[in-house]
Amino acid sequence: MPELPEVETVRRGLTELVAGSRIKTVEVLYPKMVNLPAVDFEKALQNKEIVKIDRRGKYLFIRINGGLTIVSHLRMEGKYDVEPEGTPFNKHTHIVFHLTDGRQLRYNDTRKFGRMNLVQTGQEMMVAGLKTIGPEPTEKDLTLAYMTKVFGKSRKIIKPFLLDQSKIAGLGNIYADEVLWLSKINPKQPVNTLSLQELKRLRKNIIDEIQRAIAGHGTTVHSYSTAYGEAGNFQNHLNVYGHQGEPCPRCGTPIEKIKLAQRGTHFCPTCQVLHGDHHE
DNA sequence: GTAACGGCCTGTACGC
DNA sequence: TGCGTACAGGCCGTTA
């Protein structure tokens, strides 16, 4: 499931592969995937150039000359592939960009959860989800001042809070579990009971873990792969996600898996102990 | 304003 | 073997 590091890896891959390429025609095979009538989407992009690819949180902004932007969200299993014209479509190919150089940029998505919104450049932040998106998990944007303010006033528990893109952009189910384990925070801990020390630790671990995962080209689980068709390798660095029943790398206690807010949640019951309110 | 939940999808794992 | 069912999960829209 692509989270920020995987989406960033895709962004870099697409930049290398198709930035500067010209679109001859577009085929929308699954109309529900786009925000416009399929014909309008196809016509608007005909004979346009892919200028560059930006990213915000888990959203890709594919910049098209003439003032257009495709806002692309991969959701669970979306991925881009570049293939020579004539190669048979994958069973889950839903959108095809025929390029003038004889290649095709294809969007494949097993579960059809992904979406593409074609908007005027400058209007991309009006797309649902981007209107309320939180800060990027970086040293510069995710300040401690922001965290103490926003975390201090929520009574939600921390795990689903971290998945809320309006609080922090880019974390998904895998990295949420990983950063809580790294920070020794119980996934059920109410957000407004986190101590200043815990917030500092959590902030540092979020920023560092995302950077490490980007450096490792993302995590490969299920069908995710980069635009190069290569697998990321960060899954080898996961400590708790998917490791239920295995010993905690820190203390040896078996990792538990529970369900919180409909999401599978992995944690160490010894290292990540629920505690009371600190009242700082 | 915030929080909770159903729905969107299909492949995989499991029980009988 | 084959069938049915539960489950995986990011995000939106709706409801409380």
DSSP for A9-25 reads HHHHHHHHHHTT-BEEE
pLDDT at A224 over 50: no
Tell me whether residue A21 is in a domain: yes
Instruction: Please name the residue that has the structure tokens 């102990």.
Output: A273
Q: Are residues A17 and A46 in the same domain?
A: yes
Q: What is the pLDDT of residue A50?
A: 97
Cα–Cα distance between A218 and A249 in angstroms, integer?
21
Nucleotides of C under 7 A from a protein CB: 7-13
Q: What is the pLDDT of residue A88?
A: 87
pLDDT in tens, A225-254: 444 434 565 656 789 988 888 899 999 999
Q: Are residues A88 and A178 in the same domain?
A: no
Q: Are residues A98 and A156 in the same domain?
A: no
Q: Are residues A205 and A262 in the same domain?
A: yes
| Nucleic strand B under 7 Å from the C-beta of A259 | no
Final residue of a structural domain among A76, A91, A126: A126
Determine whether A219 is exposed, middle or buried from the number of CB atoms within 10 Å of its CB (0-12, 13-18, 19+): buried
pLDDT in tens, A64-82: 999 999 999 998 889 899 9
Q: What is the pLDDT of residue A226?
A: 41
Candidate list A56, A58, A115, A203, residue with the active-site label: A58
Final residue of a structural domain among A93, A126, A159: A126
pLDDT in tens, A89-141: 888 999 999 999 999 999 999 889 999 999 999 999 999 899 999 999 999 99
Percent of chain A predicted with pLDDT > 90 = 70
| Nucleic strand C under 7 Å from the C-beta of A112 | no
Q: Are residues A119 and A206 in the same domain?
A: no
Q: Are residues A167 and A97 in the same domain?
A: no
Q: Are residues A191 and A117 in the same domain?
A: no
* Domain limits for position A253: 144-267
Tell me whether residue A37 is in a domain: yes
CATH of the domain at A86: 3.20.190.10
Q: Are residues A93 and A66 in the same domain?
A: yes
Mean pLDDT of chain A: 89
Q: How confident is the model at residue A222 (pLDDT cuts 50, 70, 90)?
A: very low
